Amino acid sequence: MINSIEEFLDIGCGRCPLVGTPDCKVQIWQDEIVTLREIILKSELKEELKWSNPCYTFDGNNVLMLSALKNYAVIGFFKGTLLDDHHNLLESPGKNSQAVMRLTFTDTAVIQDQEQIILDYISQAIEIEKKGLKVEFKKEPEPIPEELESVFENDPALKSAFFELTPGRQRGYILHFSQAKQAKTRFARIEKCIPKIMEGKGFHDR
């Protein structure tokens, strides 16, 4: 794992085998990442390293993350759904996302042209923290698949470990299991994830 923002920019996040190579996503989108970072640092946010990526906080609260994905550089707002998207640029990272919204970029010239717009979103995000606003997540949890209920009946320790996970991690597993169309596939997914659940990890945790 990397230990500084400088190391992130130099070799990448270190979370895949491509770290330190020209194929690393951070290297591919290096210019865009650097340009976005320069803009973010003009705000009141504090720069920190979290989850091997630059994370920007206000009064200790996570506000946004700067990262590189396969097809673009990204600013991800932790409470993005609370932002006023009057510029119509925010994107959801997935159909089940209830909080995070992101800005994606593939061109430094576009980033420079949109600097004031980016700073507007950041300013809004800071105001959200100053006001102590919270994202209201869906009250009703995702229904637990019958296959998972069946496994719980035969493995009380797994059931206990599952419900000790955070609601977000529980939901991540439930969505992963439920998206399989066939029961045998759902059982196979559950079986594969049991070790991580028993370790207290989420579906996307390493």
Give pLDDT tens digits for 1-30.
789 999 999 999 987 889 999 999 999 999
| Span 127-144, pLDDT tens digits | 999 999 998 877 666 789
The answer to whether 9 and 26 are in contact (CB under 8 A) is yes
Cα distance between residue 186 and residue 176, in whole Å: 9
Pairing state between β 73-77 and 46-50: unpaired
Fold classification of 5-130 is Yope Regulator; Chain: A, (3.30.1460)
Query: What residues does CATH 3.30.1460 cover in the chain?
Result: 5-130
Q: Is 151 left (phi over 0), alpha (psi -120 to 50) or beta?
A: alpha
Calculate the average pLDDT of the chain.
92
- CA R_g for the chain: 19
Side by side, the strands of the sheet bearing 61-68 are 46-50, 53-58, 61-68, 73-77, 101-105
Does this model's pTM top 0.85? no
| Span 189-200, pLDDT tens digits | 999 999 999 999
What residue type is assigned to position 158 of the chain?
A: L
| Span 157-181, pLDDT tens digits | 899 899 988 888 899 999 999 999 9
What residue type is assigned to position 77 of the chain?
A: F
pLDDT at 124 over 90: yes
